[in-house]
Amino acid sequence: MGEQIQHEYTPDAVSPPGETLRELLEERNMSQRALAERMGRPTKTINEIINARTSITPETALQLEKVLGTPAHFWNNREQKYQEYLARLQQNTQLEQVVDWIKKFPIKKMVKFGWIQGSSDEVEQLQILLSFLGVTSPKEWEQIYLQKKQSAAFRQSLAYEPNPYAVSAWLRYGELVGKEVEVDGYDKNKFEHDLRVIREMTRRSPEEFVPKMKELCTKCGVALVFTPQLPKTLVSGATRWLNPNKALIQLSLRYKTNDHFWFTFFHEAAHILLHGKKDIFLENSKSTFDEEKEEQANNWAAKFLIPKNYFNEIASKAKSNRLNKRAVKQYARELNIASGIIVGQLQHSKVLDYKYMNDLKRKFEWKHNIEKQED
């Protein structure tokens, strides 16, 4: 995706179609009574149309076409545009009451990333934000993200975020990008197989592995999306199903080292393999409300990256101070994974202190517009 949501020009004011009718009658030197007689309508009705107190119905438009020769679609279009204009005026009045809501979102960053257009007019900026979020008002946002429309665990997790508004924007962008990704129907067996292919890419650079990962995932029915993190969001990734045959893995670009990135990816993949299609998982450092499923995903990812027998052997050497960098590199070659993954798992399991062997981890430099660059 990466495209800003575009907004059509809307005029500041639209005259009622009755004004056009008044001008047409004046040009033809025809009175309202004469028009009413020819149309078989009360003069009062014509007067109300001219003074914008009554709408032009499709039936009236057809009558005007017969009497005045002006096409019915002209009157219908004029009426439709005028009614839309009135509705927008009413909507703007309502939005003016809640315009401060936009201050809860990192608008400047969203504009910088190209997710939305920026506007100096606050009401227009609110309209742009609502269009991006796919809701008509802040009330609907509350319903979708914090109340009834998501799973209880997801709502609780989002509520405990430093900025749930920013997280919802991050999730929404991933959803919009994911919907544009064309995938084959979900195939669990193929996904399990191709995850092993992806595992062999852990020694490569993002420029090499990202396009291949995305390609393999799409052939299994999984849209893989990379989106930059927004301020005050601690989200590493999210997993959900866009439809019964299409899963979405959304990864942030907050990973500084390869061990964090790869473990998160395979953790998200585990949710797809192990858990239901109605589940939504939001990975963050603040809170976890479905601890059993999170633990299952953690265990699956850990064992998938480093088989248990290998990990026990490596951990035993680390505990007895017999593990050095050379040995880690040798194990990494045998396992065909990046050395940093082994170091990260040892540190996470508290077998190795976090201050040791960090130079074996590979640092990533992510580009915030990674999706647009690969289109």
The tens digit of pLDDT for each residue in 304-350 reads: 999 999 999 999 998 998 999 999 999 999 999 999 999 999 999 99
Tell me, rounded to whole angstroms, the distance of Cα 82 from its chain centroid.
33
For residue 162, count other CB atoms closer than 10 A to its CB.
12
Is 39 among the domain residues? yes
The pLDDT, as a whole number, for residue 282 is 80
The tens digit of pLDDT for each residue in 188-218 reads: 999 999 999 999 999 998 889 999 999 999 9
* pLDDT average, residue stretch 243-253: 93
Looking at 4-18, 77-91, 188-202, 242-256, which range is the least confident one? 4-18
The pLDDT, as a whole number, for residue 147 is 66
Separation of alpha carbons 21 and 13, rounded Å: 18
* Res. 72 pLDDT band, cuts 50 70 90: very high
Is 261 among the domain residues? yes
User: Is the distance from CB of 201 to CB of 213 less than 8 angstroms?
Assistant: yes
Is 135 among the domain residues? yes
Is 171 among the domain residues? no
User: Is the distance from CB of 208 to CB of 201 less than 8 angstroms?
Assistant: yes
| Average pLDDT over all residues of the chain | 88
Is 155 among the domain residues? no
Looking at 190-194, 249-253, 362-366, which range is the least confident one? 362-366
End-to-end CA distance of the chain: 8
* Res. 170 pLDDT band, cuts 50 70 90: very high
- Domain range enclosing 119: 101-149
| Same domain flag for 303 and 278 | yes
Question: Token digits for 315?
Answer: 């951990």
Separation of alpha carbons 375 and 359, rounded Å: 33
| Same domain flag for 129 and 267 | no
The pLDDT, as a whole number, for residue 5 is 46
| Same domain flag for 87 and 141 | no
E strand or H helix at 241, and its extent? strand 237-243
Is 291 or 375 the better-scoring residue by pLDDT? 291
How buried is residue 242: exposed, middle or buried, by Cβ count under 10 Å (0-12/13-18/19+)?
middle
Pseudo-torsion of CA 350, 237, 273, 243, nearest 10°?
170
Of 96, 113, 129, which residue sits at a domain end?
A: 96
E strand or H helix at 138, and its extent? helix 138-146
The pLDDT, as a whole number, for residue 267 is 95
The pLDDT, as a whole number, for residue 8 is 46
The pLDDT, as a whole number, for residue 236 is 86
Is 151 or 171 the better-scoring residue by pLDDT? 171
The pLDDT, as a whole number, for residue 2 is 45
Is 255 among the domain residues? yes
The pLDDT, as a whole number, for residue 3 is 46
